């Protein structure tokens, strides 16, 4: 099945009781049983919900995996993966990633005795020396938030397999339209469905997709035991979002390319981070593992003063100043004070995230209007 067909049809069946083409919102907490233990496979909605199951099937289908699990947020999905581990276990994580993931690792799980080691994964050679008998998981994100660094998923997967370590890839930035980590050898794909999958800035949700059934059973056990399940209305919204993911992503990519080129040619812009540029340090790997380069762009101005950065962040009118990304509307964001403020400044600077970095989530408006908006703001 080709992607466009898959995004609309995969994993979803007409509702068995009525034939409704769109899965109904099963707004219920429990299910009536014929006799004690004699039920239709539905007992209690934290464990089973038909709207959630439809979404989980769709997620599995679009990530080319066997099993999908939906969570009440992206960080809840990450939380479930780390709960596979035990005190003393070690995780090797990318040093450039979503600030909330870093916060969860350092501020929540570290105190339960899980050890996190951070490496620059743009060069996969950095990973092997960090692996020891305690290593259980490699966590990576590509492209990274917000520096658009690219990790070679297939190469990391080879290392993970050789050392019997799980590999989980946060695929939020690429979305399943541009990249499928399971096909490249990853064990688990994680999504903040809040972003491109939902696509309309109206829902918080997360997902995991995997092939291994034993791993699915362990993660399902964590999902129902810890209880970070999404409600059926939110599942409906993400199911609906997935149906237009391919058309939205096509426009995000087109607009992203136009705006990245516009910024790069602007005399006041010092540097643009976008994996579609031929001189992006890992462009060849991006080209190999992605089907397009997306609409996430970061840039730095030649005048990197606090005053000028602040001025531009408030000067756009179409690009709204807000956290989050992947919605139909364009957003502008300041990682150092917003999305990545939970990473200590010296860590940020060490990893190349400057105080003057500005991140754009390019929406699907007309590119000319978006460029005009940036032209006026940058001056």
Ligand X SMILES: *Cc1c(COP(=O)(O)O)cnc(C)c1O
Q: By CB under 6 A, name the binding residues for ligand X.
A: 73-75, 98, 100-101, 141, 145, 170, 172-173, 192, 194-195, 204, 206
- Name which of 77 and 312 has its Cβ closer to ligand X: 77
State the Cα–Cα distance between residues 349 and 95, nearest whole angstrom: 11
State the Cα–Cα distance between residues 186 and 174, nearest whole angstrom: 15
State the Cα–Cα distance between residues 179 and 171, nearest whole angstrom: 8
Q: Where are the alpha helices (DSSP H) in the chain?
A: 3-9, 50-62, 74-82, 99-103, 153-162, 175-178, 213-226, 232-243, 245-264, 283-289, 306-313, 345-350, 367-378
The helix or strand, by DSSP H or E, that contains position 298, with its residue range, turns out to be strand 296-301
In the beta sheet, which residues pair with residue 209? 68, 189
Residue closest to ligand X, measured at CB? 74
341: DSSP letter: T
46 part of the active site: yes
268 part of the active site: no
Q: CB of residue 120 vs ligand X: minimum separation in angstroms?
A: 17
Q: CB of residue 172 vs ligand X: minimum separation in angstroms?
A: 4
Q: CB of residue 204 vs ligand X: minimum separation in angstroms?
A: 5
- Name which of 57 and 145 has its Cβ closer to ligand X: 145
Q: CB of residue 234 vs ligand X: minimum separation in angstroms?
A: 11
State the Cα–Cα distance between residues 168 and 92, nearest whole angstrom: 11
3 state DSSP class of 192: strand
3 state DSSP class of 140: strand
Q: CB of residue 197 vs ligand X: minimum separation in angstroms?
A: 10
State the Cα–Cα distance between residues 144 and 172, nearest whole angstrom: 9
Active-site residue (options: 31, 42, 46, 66) = 46
- Name which of 103 and 163 has its Cβ closer to ligand X: 103
Active-site residue (options: 6, 52, 136, 195) = 195
Active-site residue (options: 170, 187, 234, 373) = 170
- Name which of 250 and 324 has its Cβ closer to ligand X: 324
What does residue 122 show for φ and ψ, rounded to 5 degrees? -65, -30
- Name which of 109 and 173 has its Cβ closer to ligand X: 173
30: DSSP letter: B
State the Cα–Cα distance between residues 234 and 53, nearest whole angstrom: 12
98 part of the active site: yes
Q: CB of residue 71 vs ligand X: minimum separation in angstroms?
A: 8
Active-site residue (options: 6, 26, 96, 98) = 98
- Name which of 325 and 371 has its Cβ closer to ligand X: 325
Active-site positions? 46, 98, 170, 195
């Amino acid at each position: 099945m080709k992607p466009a067909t898959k995004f609309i049809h995969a994993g979803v069946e007409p509702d068995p009781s009525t034939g409704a083409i769109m899965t109904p919102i099963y707004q219920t907490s429990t299910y009536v049983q014929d006799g004690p233990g004699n039920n239709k496979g539905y007992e209690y909605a934290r464990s089973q919900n038909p709207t959630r199951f439809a979404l989980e099937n769709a997620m599995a289908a679009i990530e080319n995996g066997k099993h999908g699990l939906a969570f009440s947020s992206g960080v809840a999905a990450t939380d479930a993966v780390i709960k596979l581990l035990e005190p003393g276990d070690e995780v090797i994580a990318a040093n450039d990633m979503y600030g909330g993931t870093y916060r969860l690792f350092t501020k929540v799980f570290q105190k339960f005795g899980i050890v996190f080691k951070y490496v620059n994964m743009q060069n996969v050679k950095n990973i092997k020396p960090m692996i020891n008998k305690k290593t259980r998981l490699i966590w990576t994100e590509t492209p990274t938030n917000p520096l658009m660094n690219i990790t070679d998923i297939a190469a990391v997967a080879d290392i993970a397999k050789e050392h019997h370590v799980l590999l989980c890839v946060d695929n939020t930035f690429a979305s399943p339209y541009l990249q499928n980590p399971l096909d490249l050898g990853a064990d688990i794909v994680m999504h903040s469905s809040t972003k491109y999958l939902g696509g309309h800035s109206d829902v918080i949700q997360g997902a995991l997709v995997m092939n291994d059934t034993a791993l699915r059973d362990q993660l399902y056990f964590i999902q129902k035991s810890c209880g970070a399940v999404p409600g059926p209305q939110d599942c409906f919204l993400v199911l609906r979002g997935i149906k237009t993911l391919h058309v939205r992503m096509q426009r995000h990519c087109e607009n992203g390319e136009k705006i990245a080129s516009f910024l790069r040619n602007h005399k006041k812009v010092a540097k643009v981070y976008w994996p579609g540029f031929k001189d992006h340090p890992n462009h060849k790997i991006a080209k190999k593992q992605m089907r397009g380069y997306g609409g996430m762009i970061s840039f730095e101005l030649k005048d990197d003063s606090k005053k000028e950065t602040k001025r531009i962040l408030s000067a756009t009118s179409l690009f709204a100043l807000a956290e989050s990304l992947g919605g139909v509307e364009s957003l502008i964001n300041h990682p150092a004070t917003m999305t990545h403020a939970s990473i200590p400044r010296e860590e940020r600077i060490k990893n190349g995230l400057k105080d003057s970095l500005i991140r754009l989530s390019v929406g699907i408006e007309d590119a000319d209007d978006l460029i005009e908006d940036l032209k006026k703001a940058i001056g």
